[in-house]
């Protein structure tokens, strides 16, 4: 038997699709896919653009694209490697020191920076305390900028002289903003910005001083990656490389949790669309049994008949997916407009990947949920033209449920849900389906006995459900599970916010004190206890480094992938006490 050319088969599928465009099941199928793709695409665009915006903003938090951070100066080879790649370079040295005037002293956090600092973001300063700030370059040699609270604590004015170690510096402006200011304990003290060329004359930085050296680099991503590869093998234990992703884990973690919540909401929309696709595809196949039998009589093979209707659904799904991707692209602009007062003002443009991913999600959902009903069209016997009671051999149950689960797994993988959550959702869904399905079948059987003595309207209204109990139970269960998923998403939103707010205990401290002198320790402790009944003891702090555990080198016990890897590459703040604190519990050792 001669096969129909592929071009004619596609043309026939297109003609039949245009002819059947008014069919109700095609409308439901089209709009179900449209909604699924639009939801997936809009959330994909929103998450991707918000992530790019936060990463762009995070580079300002570092003051550069990449930072080499250490408690000792970088080696000449590490500096030369970046200059060889023609990367922009700036140097920063940060430490704590006492700022002295003729009348008073004040512990401050001092930053000595080179002329090119910062490489990302802008310094801002004011001509006098509490006046309007202006962006511009940092202080010149012999000058210093200080925060307004240092002016207030030491009763200073613009033009006064302060001493940083042995170096007198003239205050020329008020420091109002540093893009890379770090939020640690030592940033609680007033800030002073000076020029790097004046650092040696201060005499403050001595062997054993607690100092942080930062080498800032900016350039193309490819050159930055080459620089990382060049210096990563020679990093000292006290050094580490930071990028926007590495240096802002709290932002990345919060954004990741928000994106996971949005993906769960998108999954609920896709599941709802999948149920609609399965029901519509089943009706689509049932209404074309006669047409398939007639085409088989006219010479179409079983494979060609199946391919014809698969092309129709494929063309419909492609059009719906393209329209949904366009609608999702427009919807994410609406989301950013509604959240314009909450997100950063500069949001990078989006790429085509979220749209392509949304289209793929729609086509996978169509294939997974519509394939089992569609497979029956290839099994319609030609004899159905004469005998309408002849039905195609139903597909295997493994094919029906296996295709749906495979599509669901692929969609979850596309939404970047972790393996545990994916298995929990699939396993929990299967268990709920079995339990609730059994209950629904039992309820339908009990309903049959109740309707025996009911009036005629009730028997006619519910009779269709009782004729096909499996189909009725399946449809009711599908919509019930989708409504349950939507309710869980709404509940999760509130629980997520409550969990974030409850991470800190109610009696968490609001203030921290550092550098209490031994002579003032007892008086300070008595004063704090008089003001607060929940004060904690004072502890000594000394910088140190973890080098061995039970006599074994720590490098042999801690892998690079573990959470403790960072602790062995930096200085730690160590403390000790004669007695174990009341809120500490010894579990072993």
User: Per-residue pLDDT tens for 145-182?
Assistant: 999 888 988 888 999 999 888 889 999 999 998 887 76
Q: What is the pLDDT of residue 278?
A: 73
Distance of CA 232 to the CA centre of its chain: 27
In angstroms, rounded to a whole number, what is the distance separating the alpha carbons of residues 497 and 499?
5
Three-state DSSP string of 439-460: HHHHHHHHHHHHHCCCCHHHHH
Determine contact, residues 214/78, Cβ cutoff 8 Å.
no
pLDDT of residue 398: 57
Could you give the CA distance from residue 58 to residue 46 in angstroms, rounded to a whole number? 18
Length of the chain: 589
- Evaluate if pTM is beyond 0.85: no
The span from the first CA to the last CA of the chain, in angstroms, equals 82
DSSP track, 322-340: HHHHHHHHHHHHHHHHHTT
Cα separation, 227 vs 92, whole angstroms: 19
Q: Which residues contact 257 (CB under 8 A, 6 or more apart)?
A: 496
What's the rounded Cα separation, in Å, for the pair 266 and 268? 5
Separation between Cα atoms, residue 57 and residue 352, nearest integer Å: 22
Per-10-residue mean pLDDT for the chain, 589 residues long?
Answer: 68 76 73 82 80 72 85 89 91 88 84 90 88 89 91 89 89 89 64 92 80 90 89 83 65 60 68 72 73 73 74 84 90 81 69 82 77 70 66 58 68 66 70 74 71 66 63 66 66 62 69 74 83 76 78 73 62 80 78
536-572 pLDDT tens trace: 778 887 777 777 888 888 777 776 656 566 666 667 7
**Could you tell me where the DSSP H helices lie in 376-511?**
397-414, 419-451, 456-467, 469-501
**Which tokens go with 475?**
């449809």
The torsion angle over the Cα atoms of residues 144, 147, 151 and 154, rounded to 10 degrees, is: -90
Question: Is the bond leading into 531 cis (omega within 30 degrees of zero)?
Answer: no
536: DSSP letter: -
């Amino acid at each position: 038997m001669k096969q129909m050319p592929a071009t004619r088969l596609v043309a026939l599928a297109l003609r039949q699709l245009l002819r059947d465009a008014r069919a109700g099941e095609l409308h439901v199928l089209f709009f179900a896919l449209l909604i699924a793709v639009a939801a997936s695409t809009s959330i994909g665009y929103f998450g991707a653009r918000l992530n790019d915006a936060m990463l762009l903003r995070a580079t300002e938090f570092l003051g550069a694209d990449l930072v080499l951070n250490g408690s000792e100066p970088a080696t000449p080879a590490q500096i030369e490697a970046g200059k060889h790649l023609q990367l922009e370079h700036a140097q920063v040295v940060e430490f704590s020191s006492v700022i002295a005037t003729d009348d008073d002293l004040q512990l401050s956090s001092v930053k000595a920076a080179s002329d090119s600092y910062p490489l990302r973001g802008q310094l801002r300063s004011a001509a006098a305390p509490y006046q309007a700030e202006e962006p511009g370059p940092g202080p010149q040699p012999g000058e210093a900028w200080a925060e307004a609270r240092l002016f207030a604590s030491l009763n200073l004015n613009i033009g006064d002289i302060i001493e940083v170690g042995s170096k007198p510096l003239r205050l020329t402006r008020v420091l109002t903003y540093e893009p890379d200011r770090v939020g640690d304990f030592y940033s609680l003290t007033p800030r002073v910005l000076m020029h790097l060329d004046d650092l040696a004359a201060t005499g403050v930085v001595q062997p054993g001083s607690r100092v942080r050296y930062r080498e800032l680099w900016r350039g193309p991503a490819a050159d930055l990656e080459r620089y990382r590869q060049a210096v990563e093998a020679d990093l000292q234990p006290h050094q580490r490389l930071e990028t926007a992703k590495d240096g802002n884990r709290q932002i990345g973690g919060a954004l990741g949790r928000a994106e996971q919540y949005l993906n769960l909401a998108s999954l609920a929309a896709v599941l709802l669309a999948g149920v609609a696709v399965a029901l519509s595809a089943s009706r689509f196949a049932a209404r074309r049994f006669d047409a398939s039998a007639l085409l088989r009589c006219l010479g179409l093979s079983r494979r060609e008949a199946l391919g014809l209707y698969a092309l129709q659904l494929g063309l419909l799904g492609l059009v719906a997916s393209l329209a949904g991707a366009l609608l999702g692209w427009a919807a994410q602009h609406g989301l950013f407009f509604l959240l314009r007062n909450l997100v950063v003002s500069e949001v990078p443009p989006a790429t085509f990947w979220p749209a392509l991913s949304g289209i793929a999600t729609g086509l996978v959902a169509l294939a997974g949920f519509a394939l089992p009903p569609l497979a029956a069209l290839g099994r319609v016997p030609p004899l159905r033209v004469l005998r309408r009671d002849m039905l195609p051999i139903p597909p295997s149950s493994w094919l029906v449920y296996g295709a749906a689960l495979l599509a669901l797994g692929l969609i979850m993988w596309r939404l970047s849900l972790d393996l545990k959550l994916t298995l929990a959702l699939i396993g929990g869904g299967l268990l709920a389906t079995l339990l609730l399905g059994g209950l629904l079948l039992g309820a339908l059987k009990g309903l049959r006995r109740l309707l025996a003595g009911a009036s005629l309207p009730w028997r006619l209204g519910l009779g269709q459900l009782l004729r096909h109990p499996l189909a009725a139970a399946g449809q009711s269960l599908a919509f019930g599970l989708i409504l349950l998923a939507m309710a869980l998403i709404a509940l999760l939103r509130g629980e997520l916010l409550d969990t974030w707010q409850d991470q800190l205990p109610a009696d968490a401290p609001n203030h921290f004190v550092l550098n209490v002198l031994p002579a003032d320790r007892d008086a300070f402790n008595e004063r704090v206890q008089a003001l607060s009944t929940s004060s904690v003891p004072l502890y000594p702090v000394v910088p140190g480094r973890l080098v061995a555990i039970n006599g074994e080198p720590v490098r042999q016990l801690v892998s690079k992938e573990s959470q403790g890897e960072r602790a062995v590459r930096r200085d730690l703040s160590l403390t000790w006490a004669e007695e174990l604190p009341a809120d500490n519990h010894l579990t072993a050792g």
